[in-house]
Amino acid sequence: MQGQLTTGWKILEENALHWEQWGEQYALYDALSGETHLLPELSARLLQHLTIQPNTSGALARLLCDDSEELCDQAFVDNVSQLLMQLQAAGLAENVQL
């Protein structure tokens, strides 16, 4: 019997990302694309978790909640899913089979 496939998220190339932090704003240079991004804190922390390992959106939401003691309700999980899609559109993350 085949195991159930799980979809999750990963970054394209960990070593390509270069950061600068100013308070709650982050500048990010992606050496893979040559693009520069300005990210709010939540998006930056999301990407930084993905540099550690690929993960599901639910697990990522829980990690972010643990970091900040935010309420990990469905609205927050949905928000994280939206951010992941925005990061995908920006060429910073991709949706994969884990």
Partner 1 sequence: MRLLAGLAHEECRQRLADRGILLQTGPFIVEVRSDLDGFTGLLQQFYGQFPMVEPPAIADFHVQLLSPPGIRRWWRPQVRFLLDGQSPFQPFQLSHAFPLFEWGLNWSIAMQAQQYLMLHSAAVERAGKVLLLPAWPGCGKSTLCAALVSRGWRLFSDEFGLVRADDGQLVPMPRPIPLKNKSIDVIRDFSPDMEFGPEFHGTRKGTVAHLRTPDASAAQLHIPAPPGWLVFPRYRAGASLRLKPIDKPQAFLKLVNNSFNYQLLGLQGFQTVTRLVRNCECSILSYSDLDEAVDTLTQLADA
Binding-site ranges for partner 1 (CB under 8 A): 18, 20, 22-23, 25, 27, 29, 31, 34, 36, 38
Number of neighbouring beta carbons within 10 Å of residue 80 = 24
Q: How far is the CB of 30 from partner 1 (least distance, A)?
A: 10
Q: Which is nearer to partner 1, 13 or 20 (CB)?
A: 20
Q: How far is the CB of 38 from partner 1 (least distance, A)?
A: 6
SS3 of residue 66 by DSSP: helix
Q: Which is nearer to partner 1, 39 or 63 (CB)?
A: 39
Q: How far is the CB of 25 from partner 1 (least distance, A)?
A: 4
27: left (phi over 0), alpha (psi -120 to 50) or beta: beta
Query: Residues 13-33, buried b or exposed e (16+ Cβ, 10 A)?
Result: eeeebeeeeeeeebebebeee
Q: Which is nearer to partner 1, 22 or 71 (CB)?
A: 22
